[in-house]
Amino acid sequence: MKLPYVIRTVLLLSIIFSAIATKAQQNEDLLNLLIKKKVLSQQEADSIRADEAIKEQAKKENSANRHGISIGRALQISGLVQARYQGFEQSNVNNSFDLRRVRLDLRGNITDRWSYDVYTEFGGTGVKLVDAFVAYTAGDYLKFSAGQFKIPFSVESLTSDSQLEFSDRSQVVEALVSRTKDVIGNSNGRDIGIMVNGSFAKIDDFYLFDYSLGVFNGAGYDVTTDNNNHKDISGRLSVHPVKNLSVSADFYNGQGNYGTPATNQKRNRTGVDARYVWKALSLTAEYDKGTDGKINRSGWYGQAAYFILPKHLQLAAKYDTYDPTQTSLTDRSNWYTGGVNYYFNDWTRLTIDYTLRREQTTQVKNNLLNAQLQIVF
């Protein structure tokens, strides 16, 4: 990169940030002047500052929906389509094309504090509600949500499907976070319940801590009733010692109705993860363990991704290991994945990755090629 370009870029960003800071200072100076002139009381000025802070947070949350269609602030429409091809090494499994995800998201802010989100899946075997919740935001430090949404567990599970650096999530995440291999079935990492979350201890332009704590049915998503009387609890705490670094710990304590015949059994999880993004490089690692009944399971992964062509061409590599029964010494599987992401623009991306699957004892010819084209709007 040429030095003059860097200097121009830094200068332009400095001017923009200075303008924003100047505007904020002007607003603060005006409030102080009105207080001094006794036009406003200190309490009224504090109330205006609080309202402005809430509006700024709403703007930040809505910026993630920048490709969507907005009809005022009460309705923003966005969506996701992922078309996939899978090439299987196994001789008894057919290579195939499929529509992996076809989703429509309707969300909006009814007032400065009240909002809603309805996220629907049209792909697969039928229409399903993915997310459906209402939320009340008291401030950056406190938000209440009620309905169906993601369980606060696992950085990879909480990452949006459209933002993953690989086509598939890791083995341990699929097995322990209400996804394809969980004992209660695939709920896309979601459940029905209530949650509080927020951020606090702000340093410059980022918060030092994020937290989430929720109570859930434990029966999964898109269901009408709970299948037992027990309620599950999940929590997550993230620390950001420096900007763009997140180190998190989480837990899930509950019961699931599973097995043959289905009975209420223990279903607990704990995990730690970290993610760091620096310029074109992103690094992610996660370790999770869980207990289903009397079976202990654990696994971890580490991955790296790097843009060799800024905003367009990204290379990624991942090591993924999972032990489904810790009492057995012969059933661990290790996956090695290499991938390429090509971003045609901000909306459209092609992901191609290949996974070498290695079993601990008996090797199965089950390597997998994924090619996935997605568009978001």
pLDDT tens, residue by residue, 312-355: 999 999 999 999 998 888 899 999 999 999 999 999 999 999 99
- Distance separating alpha carbons of residues 252 and 173, to the nearest angstrom: 13
**CATH (domain of 275):** 2.40.160.10
What's the pLDDT at 284?
98
Confidence of residue 19 (pLDDT cuts 50, 70, 90): very low
What's the pLDDT at 274?
98
pLDDT digits (tens, 9 = 90+) for 76-108: 999 999 999 999 998 889 999 999 999 999 999
- Distance separating alpha carbons of residues 270 and 273, to the nearest angstrom: 11
Q: Does 28 have pLDDT greater than 90?
A: no
Q: Is residue 105 part of a domain?
A: yes
Q: Is residue 24 part of a domain?
A: no
pLDDT digits (tens, 9 = 90+) for 151-193: 999 999 999 999 999 999 999 999 999 999 999 999 999 999 9
Q: Is residue 31 part of a domain?
A: no
Q: Is residue 100 part of a domain?
A: yes
The average confidence (pLDDT) of the chain is: 88
Confidence of residue 4 (pLDDT cuts 50, 70, 90): very low
Q: Which residue has the higher pLDDT, 34 or 59?
A: 34
What's the pLDDT at 211?
98
Domain that residue 307 falls in? 80-376
What's the pLDDT at 201?
96
Q: Which of 293, 352, 333 is nearest to 174 (CA)?
A: 333
Q: Does 150 have pLDDT greater than 70?
A: yes
Per the structure, the count of domains in the chain is 1
Q: Does 202 have pLDDT greater than 60?
A: yes
What's the pLDDT at 326?
85
pLDDT above 90 covers a percentage of the chain that reads: 73
